[in-house]
């Protein structure tokens, strides 16, 4: 494990010693990543324990190293997406979102790859309130800035694509897809790829209608609304969601 500079505020470049295995990084700030070379962002001062787990044919092994960030560097949060998602450094530090049931196209689907029409739900787009009682409208998603924490409150169930029903015991058909029992997913994390404008949610948490993926491309975002595009676990489809901030 080779951190770039462990004594200063930074977006630290971390590199594994070999590219002959699979690597999982835990940055100690609530964010994880995969790959040989990754970047960890530490806008807040503190000591962070970075853990690298290597997976190879012979099994797995882990090693840890502390990275000391000497002082806050909020310039690392200059991308406006951080502020829109969480309220920013001058706000409460968190923001809660929900699927905007009153908006046309709050759920929709189109081709992957996109057609010449671009990133729009050209095959089907939900009308206002079209999926009542499915679990889609009652879920809440909270993004925290400090520690990049994420909470998903399900109120007991979620709305999932019909192809995933077998993986969710107790799920039942509901308005074309399936409603599935699902507990709250608290204490998870999120990360932002500023190059692609994509957010990734950790572990078993997700946003909106679940299609088996947890990476979301931000098409538009403000302090009150957010439009997303995301894939399908079997490929071939792009799904779309519109969310609103509480």
Whichever domain contains 50, its CATH number is: 2.60.40.10
* Cα(150)–Cα(127) distance, integer angstroms: 28
Distance from C-alpha of 215 to C-alpha of 85, rounded to nearest angstrom: 15
Total-model pTM:
0.81
177 and 218 assigned to the same domain:
yes
Residue 180's domain spans which residues? 80-245
pLDDT in tens, the chain (246 residues): 544 443 444 567 778 766 678 898 988 887 788 888 887 888 888 899 999 999 988 889 999 999 898 888 877 778 899 999 999 888 889 999 999 999 999 999 999 999 999 999 999 999 999 999 999 999 999 999 988 999 999 999 999 999 999 999 999 999 999 999 999 999 999 989 888 999 999 999 999 999 999 999 999 999 999 999 999 999 999 999 999 999
182: tokens are 């699902």
84 with 66, same domain: the answer is no
Query: Domain end: 25, 43, 74, which one?
Result: 74
- Residues ≥6 apart with Cβ < 8 Å to 166: none
Is residue 209 a contact partner of residue 160, using CB atoms and an 8 Å limit? yes
Same domain, 150 and 234: yes
Pairing outcome for strands 94-99 and 237-245: antiparallel
Total tally of structural domains belonging to the chain: 2
What's the first-to-final CA gap in the chain, in angstroms? 41
The H helix count followed by the E strand count for the chain is 1, 20
Retrieve residue 192's tokens. Answer: 């932002």
């Amino acid at each position: 494990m080779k951190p770039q500079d462990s004594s200063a505020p930074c977006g630290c470049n971390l590199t594994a010693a070999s590219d002959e295995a699979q690597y999982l990084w835990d940055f100690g700030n609530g964010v994880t990543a995969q790959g040989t070379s990754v970047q960890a962002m530490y806008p807040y001062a503190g000591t962070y324990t970075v853990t690298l787990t290597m997976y190879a044919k012979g099994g797995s092994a882990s090693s840890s190293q502390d990275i000391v960030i000497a002082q806050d560097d909020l310039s690392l949060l200059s991308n406006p997406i951080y502020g829109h998602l969480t309220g920013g450094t001058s706000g409460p530090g968190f923001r809660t979102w929900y699927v905007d049931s009153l908006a046309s196209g709050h759920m929709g689907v189109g081709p992957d790859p996109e057609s010449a029409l671009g990133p729009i739900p050209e095959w089907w787009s939900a009308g206002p309130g079209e999926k009542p009682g499915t679990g889609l409208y009652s879920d809440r998603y909270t993004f925290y800035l400090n520690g990049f924490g994420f909470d998903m409150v399900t109120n007991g169930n979620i709305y999932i694509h019909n192809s995933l029903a077998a993986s969710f015991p107790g799920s039942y058909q509901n308005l074309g897809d399936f409603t599935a029992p699902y507990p709250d997913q608290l204490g998870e994390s999120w990360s932002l790829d500023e190059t692609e404008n994509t957010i990734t949610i950790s572990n078993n948490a997700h946003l909106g209608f679940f299609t088996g993926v947890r990476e979301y491309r931000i098409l538009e975002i403000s302090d009150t609304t957010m439009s997303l595009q995301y894939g399908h676990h079997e490929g071939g489809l792009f799904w779309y969601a519109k969310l609103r901030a509480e």
